Amino acid sequence: MKTLIIENIDPKKIGELMTVSQKFCEIPDIIALGDGPVPGKFGKVWQTPKTVAANLISSVVNIIQEEKYEIILMSVSTLGTGLAGPLSATLSAPVVTEVTAIHPDRVVERPIYGGKAMIKQKLESTPAILTIRRKYFEPATLDGTTASTPLSLDADKVRLVAEKNEQADGIPLEDAAVIVSGGRGVGDKDSFALLQAMADQLNGAVGASRGAVDEGWASPTRQIGQTGKIVAPDVYFAVGISGASQHLAGIANSKCVVAINKDAEANIFNRARFGLVCDYKKILPLLTEAVKEKR
Amino acid sequence: MPRVPYWNIDFGIVMDLLAIPVIFIFLYGFYRQWLLIRQGKMRVNPDVGKMIQGIAAFQPGAFFVRGILNEKLYRKPFSGIAHGFVFFGMAILFIGTNLVILNVLFGLPVFNGAFNQWFMAFGLDLAGVLALCGVVFFLLRRAFMPERLKLPAARKGFVIACGLLGGILLTGFILEGARLAAGSLEIGAFAGNLIAAGFIGNTHALSIHTVTWWIHGLLALSFIAYIPFSPLVHIVLAPVNAGFADPAPGVKMGVIDFSSFESEDSEEAPLLGADKLSDFTRKRFLDFASCVWCGRCQEVCPAHSTEKPLSPKGVIVTMAERLSKGQLDEPVWDNISMEAIFNCTTCAACMEACPVSINQPKTIMKFRQNLVMEQSKIPELMGKAIASLEQRAHPFFGTGSGMAEWRKDLDVPFFEAGETEYLLWIGCSVTYEQRAQKIGRAMVNILNKAGVSYGILEDFRCTGDPAKQMGNEFLFAEIAQQNIEEFSELGIKKIITLCPHCYNSFTRHYSKLGGDYEVIPHGSMIQMLMDENKIKFDKKPQRITYHDPCYLGRRNGEYEAPRALMSAAGNLIEMPRHKNESFCCGGGGGNYWAEETGRRINQERAKEAFDTKADIIATACPFCLLMLTDGLKKCTEETKAFDIAEIVASCLPDVSRSS
Amino acid sequence: MHIVVLAKVVPDYLVPSMDFELKDNRAHERYSRMLGLYDENAIETAIQLKEKTSAALSLISFGSENDVQFLRKAAAMGVDQLILIKGQSDDAAVIAQNLMAAVKTLGPVDLILAGQQSADMDRGVVPGILAQMLEMPFIPQIGYIDSKGGEWAVTQITATGKRELEFKGPGVLSITSIPENVPRIPVVRAIFAAKKKPVTKLESINQGKMALTELGVEIPKTKSICEFIDVEDMNAAAKTLLTRLTEERYI
């Protein structure tokens, strides 16, 4: 099936969509947003530095109609979400957002009720639009680059005034192999330094639960969970996190969860691979030290 | 020679005549107090029997025991005894003086024989000496004030009052000494004899007597005139306030009738809660006027003693100052912070400690009701709990545990109309909090073992108590009405509660909304089963200390049933603060959902319990259990806090601890 | 100025996992119903905007007649009028069409706000479809909104930070949760007043279904056995954990 990826230039995101596209075609085409060379091998490549979804719609619609794409793939982001609905309406196309699995016969799966249930739906017509939840598909390795032709756009409907990156420090949560994450049980803002020290030793990132973010102990960009970021590190340290279902939804694909909590009854232990029932303030410095020794 | 009144005094009638305006000043002073108090709103409550002036029904028993005998004062032995010396000393001297008047008017023979020797001489001398000791104690204490008197402010006027009293007593002794020195010493009058023999020579006795008589008389009259215009006003207001205090223990917020909001013009509906002095009732005005600023409330307050902004004394003092300045309609929020109002755990330790029978929590709760129901102001976490109560009828937002989990692998029958005797009311924490769920499981095991006819509801709802405690009376009323309807449909008459907050709601508030049930706290139920030999268990070699939940103990007077159970299960040892003087766990008043500033109340209490070296820290309230469990983590890694039902269940043969 | 906020009444989105049951492929009807999580953020944002700009504020919901009692909360918070489209579909295109019809009954509107996603289907796609149908721009994940010299200045919360965007004319925004839009608790007076606010009920149209077939809904079985590490000796515990993580090749 003829597949089009629409994505910002980001090897991880494009890599994941590339993996998904293999289920539908051999070589997909792409509309790449942002500056610089487009990584990976594609059929046709359009490129524009503009990234505000609302300004892209008519051009993207034209391309889809002209090239008769059957599957449109985007990841769940302000771009993907911003395009999915309008594209579906213009193209009278079925749209499924936050897809987590793709089965044969154009059957896709996605979570509903905050991850407490999964729904399977069959795409009955083309083109069909899918947004893919991040960290559910292994990103494909992108070899080389493909030359692009510029995407022609109408005048902007929405003007981008400023873009502030609040995650300048440290590794992006989505890409970290190790995440040390703190919840309300951490107790105060200053104690997040203990988590940071440990994350630094492991080349990891610091995350936070909604509770800790609500308290103002961590920036909202650090929030992990259904309402924050979906992450899938190799090891996820949940420190003082009780394990509400909304948070568990965000770490569903973590390979190994280590729960450190004073409360032996905390729900997080139901999800954890390893559990330590103790005061994190005592164990974290020892762990950090042990990692240091090992290196 | 018997004593002769007006001996050695010319124109003594002048003093008698002066007494007439003094009595008028005294009466006028109290009339002014009444004018202040009557600015308060009249209470309208058909449940209260014979209401006087819209204040309350008068309770002579409380008037005598708490007002006159001052039972509560003696919890602080030094100031209590000193106050007792002054009060009873002066009372006896006052009686002595009146006997003299009766002697003058009617020739009552008080100066003869044994009565003169033992009462008029020895008795009055002793009373005077003790009163003087008391006065000296109070003057010294005013010079070196403890914090509770100083903060946030000390009441002025006590030094003048003590000075007057001291002056009256000293001149009284000099007067007596001079009289005896001029005549002859008298058996029994030990103090007078000492002064006569030791200090007053025969030569000046007559002139000293004359001068001192006038000074003594004038001081006494000044004192009487000063009473209603000084802190001494409490001599009258405190017993009156005790007499008007609600006889049932605890805060008693009552219920609010929201029907006037239903009408077309809801703008006209009354203000909810209070945001200024004039919103309070005459009883509260009497509270404010009676307060002597002694700070005993502040000292026992769990919020204040852990460095939080709330001081119950501060709140009452603010209102008392407004009352004296006539500031009836200025909103209080400049003087009383929202944070302080939400610090209150509604534990009622303050009103338990108050020697003049003030209901501090009620004033605080009125402010809280106004913040929540009129201004939509509430700390964020409490707001979330309230929102959850409104949406899903329980306050445990985001919980990972629920109905299916608490009764997993357990045989729990549902209540069947006409079949089942008791409703086992589970409550929100036992349903939705993992640790508290074990209380429900333990109780089910006990009831099953005893073969009690009981059942639970299929659908779960909270009693609404957390909403009420957080000031949202409206939400409480809505939830309560739904429960009452459901109970009526099922024909529920007897309810076993696992949580004192549920118990308090059912007994105190549901009855006022039309739901009358026989409600039994689980401790009393288990004790009943034990007394009837339906369950038997052996004592284990374990030391148990018991934490009194405020809503079971101070608020409802149930101290003994849980203790009886714990004495049967092990050796009961008491914490320093127990029974009616118990210290709150910190979770009351919705503060389970608060983010505490200052030190943490639950850690203070957990440490107190831990320091008893008990093996087990027992309690009878799920919220206390959760707060203590959390607080104990600072003292020990061991799990030591358990509910009384868990402890009993663990002693039962064939019921495993893991239940 | 006229602002519209879209909201959906959903089954309790915080039912503990163990209590969660399905009936006919949907959450069991015994769960309490309530306004969606982000819908409340959107309503709060809309009310703050209304207070700033003195706009009229209408709420449109697609659902059953029984939902009105839950929508009243929005009225108590400050929404001026409620519009309910009586319908049952879960199809995003059908819902969007009905919403469009309802918006058109209001005449010109200046801004349409919706929650980031409904708390049952978790799709976040309806506002985008609606925007396109109304030929308005759609911007998802908005935190802050300001009205500046006839234009809307909005802040989009992205995965990596914030984006400030401006546009002229009406638009559809989906609202995410930020500390400033925690829904207010309505005061009692407002709750009673809300009972008197107008509710318009519209019939739905059930056409234009999306070409999607629902095959089934399942509750995922997650099993995890937690290995508790002895913390008697903290030093040893730290070492044991590291060894175990390395053994199982997580690190």
Supply the CATH number for residue A25's domain.
3.40.50.620
Instruction: Give me B8's structure tokens.
Output: 């050695």
Where among B179, B213, B243 does a domain terminate?
A: B243
Q: What is the CATH number of the domain that holds B595?
A: 3.40.50
Distances from the Cα of C174 to the Cαs of B67, B412, C118, C168, C171, in angstroms?
A: 65, 46, 11, 17, 10
Contacts (Cβ under 8 Å, ≥6 apart) of A34: A8, A9, A10, A47, A49, A51
Q: What is the pLDDT of residue B659?
A: 43
Q: Are residues A50 and A135 in the same domain?
A: yes
Q: Across the interface, which of A116, A255, A273 has its CB nearest the CB of C219?
A: A116
- Say whether C19 and B403 touch across the interface (CB within 8 A): yes
Domain for residue A166, yes or no? no
Q: Are residues A39 and A112 in the same domain?
A: yes
Q: What is the CATH number of the domain that holds B225?
A: 1.20.950
Q: What is the pLDDT of residue A60?
A: 97
Cα–Cα distance, A44 to A31 (Å, whole number): 8
Cα–Cα distance, A249 to C220 (Å, whole number): 12
Domain for residue A70, yes or no? yes
Q: Are residues B495 and B542 in the same domain?
A: no
Q: Are residues A191 and A275 in the same domain?
A: yes
Residue for token pair 């007792």: B84
Domain for residue B659, yes or no? no
Residues of C in contact with B459 (CB under 8 A): 30
Distances from the Cα of B16 to the Cαs of B23, B207, B543, in angstroms?
A: 11, 21, 68
Strands C56-63 and C81-86: parallel
Domain for residue B427, yes or no? yes
Q: Are residues B221 and B73 in the same domain?
A: yes
Q: What ipTM did this prediction achieve?
A: 0.90
Closest by Cα among A8, A9, A15, A10 to A141: A15
Q: Are residues A228 and A91 in the same domain?
A: no
Q: Are residues A115 and A177 in the same domain?
A: no
Determine the distance from the C-alpha atom of residue A277 to the mean position of all C-alpha atoms in its chain, rounded to a whole number. 30
Q: What is the pLDDT of residue A210?
A: 80
Question: Chains meeting A at 3+ CB pairs closer than 8 A?
Answer: B, C
Closest by Cα among A277, A272, B638 to C230: A277
Q: What is the dihedral of CA A117, A118, A123, A124, to 10 degrees?
A: -50
Name the residue in chain A with its Cα closest to that of C97: A89
Domain for residue B571, yes or no? yes
Q: What is the pLDDT of residue A169?
A: 62
How far does the CA of residue B498 sit from the closest CA of chain C (Å)?
22
How far does the CA of residue C19 sit from the closest CA of chain B (Å)?
5
Q: How confident is the model at residue A251 (pLDDT cuts 50, 70, 90)?
A: confident
- Say whether C139 and A270 touch across the interface (CB within 8 A): no
Cβ–Cβ contact A228 with B under 8 A: no
Secondary structure string (H, E, C) spanning chain A: CCEEEEEECCHHHHHHHHHHHCCCCCCCEEEEECCCCEECCCCCEEEECCCCHHHCHHHHHHHHHHHCCCEEEEECCHHHHHHHHHHHHHHCCCEEEEECEEECCCEEEEEEHHHCEEEEEEECCCCEEEEECCCCCCCCCCCCEECCEECCCCCCCEEEEEEEECCCCCCCHHHCCEEEEECHHHCCCCCHHHHHHHHHHCCCEEEECHHHHHCCCCCHHHEECCCCECCCCCEEEEECCCCCHHHHHHCCCCCEEEEEECCCCCHHHHCCCEEEECCHHHHHHHHHHHHHHHC
* Cis status of the peptide bond prior to B152, with omega within 30 of 0: yes
Q: What is the pLDDT of residue A170?
A: 67
Residue for token pair 């000043």: B25
Q: What is the pLDDT of residue B657?
A: 43
- Residue B343, phi then psi, degrees to nearest 5: -70, -25
- Residue B142 has a CB neighbour count (10 Å cut-off) of 13
Cβ–Cβ contact A283 with B under 8 A: no
Amino acid at B325: K
Domain for residue A155, yes or no? no
Q: Across the interface, which of A244, A263, A264 has its CB nearest the CB of B398?
A: A244
pLDDT tens digit string along A31-59?
A: 999 999 999 999 999 999 999 999 999 99
Mutate to test the interface with C, among A158, A217, A265 (most CBs of C within 10 A): A158
pLDDT tens digit string along C66-106?
A: 999 999 999 999 999 999 999 999 999 999 999 999 999 99
Closest by Cα among A213, A220, A271 to A243: A271
Q: Are residues A145 and A215 in the same domain?
A: no
Cα–Cα distance, A205 to A222 (Å, whole number): 9
Determine the distance from the C-alpha atom of residue B600 to the mean position of all C-alpha atoms in its chain, rounded to a whole number. 23
Q: What is the pLDDT of residue B264?
A: 65
CATH of C2-203, one of 3.40.190.10, 3.10.620.30, 3.40.640.10, 3.40.50.620: 3.40.50.620
Domain edges within chain C: 2-203
Q: What is the pLDDT of residue C202?
A: 97
Contacts (Cβ under 8 Å, ≥6 apart) of B311: B151, B152, B298, B301, B304, B340
How far does the CA of residue B633 sit from the closest CA of chain A (Å)?
8
Average pLDDT over residues C15-19: 83
Residues of C in contact with B266 (CB under 8 A): 189, 192-193
- Enclosing domain of residue A284: 173-294
Q: Are residues A226 and A120 in the same domain?
A: no
- Say whether C187 and B267 touch across the interface (CB within 8 A): no
pLDDT above 70 for A225: yes
Residues of C in contact with A162 (CB under 8 A): 163-164
| A·B CB contacts under 8 A | 21
Cα–Cα distance, A26 to A2 (Å, whole number): 9
pLDDT above 60 for C215: yes
How far does the CA of residue A182 sit from the closest CA of chain C (Å)?
18
Task: Give me Rg for the CA atoms of chain C.
Answer: 22
Contact yes or no for C99/C82 (Cβ under 8 A): no
Q: Are residues A211 and A99 in the same domain?
A: no
Instruction: Give me B142's structure tokens.
Output: 């005013």
For chain C, the maximum distance between any two Cα atoms, rounded to a whole number of angstroms, is 71
Q: Are residues B230 and B284 in the same domain?
A: no
Q: Are residues A87 and A179 in the same domain?
A: no
- Enclosing domain of residue B293: 263-377
Interface of C with B in 39-98 (CB under 8 A): 73
Cα–Cα distance, B64 to B518 (Å, whole number): 32
- Say whether B269 and C192 touch across the interface (CB within 8 A): yes
Cα–Cα distance, C147 to C153 (Å, whole number): 6
Cα–Cα distance, B62 to B351 (Å, whole number): 14
Helix, strand, or coil (residue B324) = helix
Secondary structure string (H, E, C) spanning C174-239: EECCCHHHCCCCCCHHHHHHHCCCCEEEEECCCCCCCCEEEEEEECCCCCCCCEECCCCCHHHHHH
Q: Structurally, how many domains does chain B consist of?
A: 4
Amino acid at C110: D
Q: Are residues B507 and B559 in the same domain?
A: no
Q: Are residues A129 and A199 in the same domain?
A: no
Domain for residue B191, yes or no? yes
Q: What is the CATH number of the domain that holds A253?
A: 3.40.50.1220
For chain A, the maximum distance between any two Cα atoms, rounded to a whole number of angstroms, is 63
Cβ–Cβ contact B633 with A under 8 A: yes
Q: Are residues B270 and B165 in the same domain?
A: no
Q: What is the CATH number of the domain that holds B366?
A: 1.10.1060.10
What sign does the CA torsion over A222, A223, A228, A229 have? positive
Contact yes or no for B100/B108 (Cβ under 8 A): no
Q: What is the pLDDT of residue A245?
A: 66
- Say whether A283 and C234 touch across the interface (CB within 8 A): yes
Q: What is the pTM of this model?
A: 0.89
Closest by Cα among B165, B162, B177 to B212: B177
Listed as ranges, residues in chain B with pLDDT below 70 are 1, 46, 48, 264-267, 637, 655-659
Contact yes or no for B266/B46 (Cβ under 8 A): no
Cα–Cα distance, B173 to B188 (Å, whole number): 14
Cβ–Cβ contact A278 with B under 8 A: yes
Q: Structurally, how many domains does chain A consist of?
A: 2
Q: Are residues A185 and A104 in the same domain?
A: no
Contact yes or no for B232/B90 (Cβ under 8 A): no
Considering chain C, what percentage of its residues have pLDDT values greater than 90?
81
Domain for residue A157, yes or no? no
Q: What is the pLDDT of residue B276?
A: 97
| A·C CB contacts under 8 A | 252
Which position has the higher pLDDT, B4 or C39?
Answer: C39
